[in-house]
A = this chain, B = another copy of it.
Amino acid sequence: MFRKEIKVLDCTIRDGGLMNNWHFSDEYVMAVYNACVESGIDYMEIGYKSSEKAYSRDEVGCWKFCDDKDLKRIVGDNNTDLKLSAMADIGRIEPDDIPLAADSVLHMIRVAAYVHQIDKAILLAEHCMDKGYEVTINLMAVSNIMERDLEEALADVAKSKIPIFYLVDSFGSMYCEQIERLVKKYQEYLPKKTIGVHMHNNMQLAFSNTVTGIIHNCNMLDTTFLGIGRGAGNCPLEILLTFLKNPKYRVRPILKVIQESMIDMQKEIEWGYHIPYLITGTMNQHPRSAMKWMNSKEKNDLVAFFNRMNEKMDL
């Protein structure tokens, strides 16, 4: 379907990096960047902006920081229509760590926050706007927020200058009817703002929940190449492009990166549909216990993981 307001954001490096601590080769990051440019994607989220105090460079790659020297090694001055984005986690960055937009190749900062951090998120996002960036706020883990708290957060966002607000299914635990209900609530509170969607694939619903968002007028759509991302991963960019059938997007460059880099990568980094991720998703739990299980020797003992999660729920 074609709706000119729709913007597609690729977060392959940022969200995929949660699976390998952002240790991607420069060649791969460049291949993703070039494919996004050639495919007509609107935004590429290339990593996080983080404080040097929050993480050690011995543990995480440079895309956890997104210094301009690293960005420019890949994108030069980025004389393209592709806008570059970085995510900022509340508590992991100081406002002073963010340069002026005029001094950076980044166009957009997306602020990720839990509901109790929403006022801090508004403050940081407005600070970034003042520095010249486009901004969004991505409210995480909404499936675990009490309705009263959600409404208070939405009312705060409504009073802010933030133009784009995201519905995020952090645990991959929501069905189409829950997506529809929340989208309508977000729109009711934020009638003049753009709503974005960021979905996870624990129950094989990342793409279909994104379609539900599209049907209900969400216009910022998060995706990744071959669905790479934390745990079960994200909405696959290549599927979304075939759905949108918008002449400004082209799928071939995406397929080329998948065939050249990602089929082998998926053998090493096991994102995608796996039973432990289904179990945390259906139980509305953070995927971290499933990720730990997938990296353990017990990995394939699915019944044991199911039993353990059930016991945890019984507490």
CA distance A87 to B268 in the complex (A): 39
Looking at A201, A236, A251, A275, the one whose CB has the most chain B CB atoms below 10 A away is A275
Residues in B with CB closer than 8 Å to A205 are 207-208
Given known contacts A175-B211, A303-B252, A306-B251, is B259 in contact with A204 (CB within 8 Å)? no
Does any Cβ of B come within 8 Å of A302's Cβ? yes
Residues in B with CB closer than 8 Å to A282 are 239, 242-243
Q: Which of B176, B251, B278, B300 contacts A238 (CB 8 A)?
A: B278
Does any Cβ of B come within 8 Å of A258's Cβ? yes
Q: Give the number of times this chain occurs in the complex, counting copies.
A: 2
Question: Nearest chain B CB to A205's CB is how many angstroms away?
Answer: 6
Does any Cβ of B come within 8 Å of A203's Cβ? yes
Does any Cβ of B come within 8 Å of A147's Cβ? no
Residues in B with CB closer than 8 Å to A314 are none
Does any Cβ of B come within 8 Å of A256's Cβ? yes
Q: Chain A interface (Cβ within 8 Å of chain B)? A: 175-177, 201, 203-209, 211-212, 215, 236, 238-239, 242-243, 251-252, 255-256, 258-259, 263, 273, 275, 278, 282, 300-303, 306
